[in-house]
Amino acid sequence: MLRELNIQHLSYPLAAPFRIARGVKYAADVVMVELHQSDKVGRGESVPYGHYGESVASVVDQLETVRVDVVVGMGREELQARLPPGAARNALDAALWDLESKLSGIPVWTQLARPPRTALTSALTLGIDTPERMAAAAAEIADAGLIKIKLDADNPAARIEAVRQAAPGARLIVDPNESWTIELLRDLQPLLERTNVALLEQPLPANADDALLDFTSRIPICADEACHVATDLPRLRHRYQAVNIKLDKTGGLTEAWRLLRMARAENFMIMVGCMVGSSLGIAPAFEIAREAEFVDLDGALWLKDDYPDGVTLRNGLLMPPQPGFWGG
């Protein structure tokens, strides 16, 4: 049975600017894939990331290279060999999972021998701003179970202190997005400990993290940009205590599941993260997030308008999409 493959570029305006150490986003540009077979449609979404040399155009071009094989029935395992890890493979991998579940009537979580998706405590993210504005934003979500603070190397101590004072009961993740030096990391250790930061995400550039080999952190350090796929794990030992699994880095749920199992075997803590995009990109990550110590899947909450049956925030919990939205 032949399939029909549709590829679209969609741009979602954000409800507010999203500032991290590398710049400011005002919209989420995503690539959406639809796979039609019989009367069923499988969907997937990815977010091209310039930091990894990706663009909407490059992701679309990658997808076009496998169009013929996808149309005649290429499956997920062959896809792993045909496309490298990244946004293109993620969008198509998600669409294949979704199509398989709809054709078989077996939800993705059943295929993975897991119970149905449930609500999760997800981090709510604070973009970089003045300490006063970050404190005000933190006060509005002070009841959240987990808050993630985006930082750079400009006066991070004042920002961390301000957020902690405004949200004294929340667990905190600090994410400098590779903007710190080992000297700054050493200097901030007492502050991180005093403010009870639960996790420090990728403080140093991934290509400069050898400095972590001789560093003992009082706070668990999580590899984000340094961890893409399961074969990265041997290098991460003795540098990091946790790994951030993002489907746009792994190239989809198929490799993310493999990374999860291998990271557990290596005794890494698990964080599941996302790019800023719609609920269609968030939904597959729920399958990994149920096993994670730290969940950061608020990307769709930044959009001005999302899918009406997508993820929602209710009483501080991230609710999964409605049945039938993706994967069963």
Encode pLDDT of 64-81 as tens digits. Answer: 999 999 999 999 999 999
Q: According to the model, what pLDDT value does residue 260 have?
A: 98
Q: Is a pLDDT exceeding 80 seen at residue 1?
A: no
Structural domain count, the chain: 2
Claim to verify: residue 305 and residue 239 sit in the same structural domain: yes
Active site residues: 150, 246
Domain span holding position 186: 124-319
Claim to verify: residue 10 and residue 132 sit in the same structural domain: no
Claim to verify: residue 86 and residue 133 sit in the same structural domain: no
Contact 180, 203 (CB under 8 A): yes
Claim to verify: residue 13 and residue 65 sit in the same structural domain: yes
Claim to verify: residue 148 and residue 47 sit in the same structural domain: no
Considering the domain boundaries, does residue 19 fall inside one? yes
What pTM was computed for the model?
A: 0.96
Q: What is the mean pLDDT of residues 130-142?
A: 97
Claim to verify: residue 138 and residue 99 sit in the same structural domain: no
Claim to verify: residue 92 and residue 205 sit in the same structural domain: no
Domain-ending residue, one of 73, 107, 141: 107
Cα 234 from chain centroid? 21
CA distances from 117 to 8, 49, 284, 307, 318 (A): 27, 27, 10, 18, 11
Q: According to the model, what pLDDT value does residue 10 have?
A: 98
Lowest mean pLDDT among 16-20, 45-49, 59-63, 225-229: 16-20
The number of beta carbons lying within 10 Å of the beta carbon of residue 23 is 9
Claim to verify: residue 211 and residue 148 sit in the same structural domain: yes
Pairing of strands 40-46, 269-272: unpaired
Q: Is a pLDDT exceeding 90 seen at residue 22?
A: no
Claim to verify: residue 162 and residue 58 sit in the same structural domain: no
Considering the domain boundaries, does residue 113 fall inside one? no
Q: According to the model, what pLDDT value does residue 245 have?
A: 98
